[in-house]
């Protein structure tokens, strides 16, 4: 299949800034549109499909079903997944050090474990899989990936995926810019925190295990 454009399903805290910069270096600033903040995702929903045709790359904190409905099936959809524990610590660290964040006071009043329980209960920090399947279905997400409706890779292997995209569009791969690298520090009662993260985001762990298994089988076969 020939892809007309590339679409980044940007799951928060998965090196999205670096990925977007890579795409800008690959296609040029004018050919890349990114809808990250809440006001921009709202604007995306108001746009017509014709408004997006001028872009070679479109990305944002939007789900695969929403993006596909607007952009259509002739795009290369991709996403980057991150170990849930590392993602949560990056998320928590960002909030407690950013006074402008609406959850700044709440996060600083709670332990990392207490804040995790809060954001999970309120569905504030959504599972990564929820960006890929409207039903948050692991089986459906695996089906999308196996059928190459979504190309997915884990954060440690993101450059392999980006270089594949470059080659697919006839571009020379570029160096991945490193921006907004999160500083992960040890959390109190880290063992317990990891257990809770593993339980709350179990489907994300299982999806990452699937991606790792596919990559490893291809490496072995090669």
CA distance 146 to 25: 29
**CATH (domain of 98):** 3.40.50.300
pLDDT per residue of the chain (222 residues) written in tens, 0 to 9: 789 999 999 999 999 999 999 999 999 999 999 998 778 888 999 999 999 999 999 999 999 999 999 999 999 999 999 999 999 999 999 999 999 999 999 999 999 999 999 999 999 999 999 999 988 899 999 999 999 999 999 999 999 999 999 999 999 999 998 766 655 555 667 889 999 999 999 999 999 999 999 998 876 655
Residue 134: the pLDDT is: 85
Residue 180: the pLDDT is: 61
Structural domain including 17 reads 5-221
Helix (H, G, I), strand (E, B) or coil at 7: strand
Give the strand pairing for 5-9 and 75-81: parallel
Contact 117, 201 (CB under 8 A): no
Give the number of domains in the chain.
1
């Amino acid at each position: 299949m020939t892809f007309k454009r590339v679409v980044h399903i940007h799951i928060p805290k998965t090196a999205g800034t670096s990925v977007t910069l890579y795409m800008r270096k690959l296609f040029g600033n004018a050919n890349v549109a990114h809808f990250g903040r809440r006001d921009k995702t709202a604007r995306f929903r108001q746009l017509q499909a014709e408004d997006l045709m001028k872009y070679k790359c479109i990305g944002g904190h939007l789900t695969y079903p929403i993006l596909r409905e607007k952009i259509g099936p002739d795009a290369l959809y991709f996403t980057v997944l991150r170990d849930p524990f590392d993602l949560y610590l990056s998320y928590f660290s960002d909030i407690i050090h950013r006074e402008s964040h609406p959850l700044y006071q709440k996060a600083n009043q709670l332990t990392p474990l207490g804040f995790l329980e809060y954001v999970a209960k309120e569905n504030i920090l959504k599972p990564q899989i929820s960006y890929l399947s409207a039903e948050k279905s692991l089986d459906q997400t695996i089906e999308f990936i196996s059928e190459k409706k979504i190309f997915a890779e884990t954060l440690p292997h993101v450059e392999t995926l980006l270089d594949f995209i470059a080659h697919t569009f006839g571009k020379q791969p570029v160096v991945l810019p490193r921006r907004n690298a999160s500083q992960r520090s040890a959390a109190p009662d880290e063992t317990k925190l990891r257990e809770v993260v593993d339980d709350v985001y179990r489907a994300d762990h299982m999806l990452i295990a699937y991606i790792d298994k596919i990559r490893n089988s291809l490496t072995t076969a090669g």
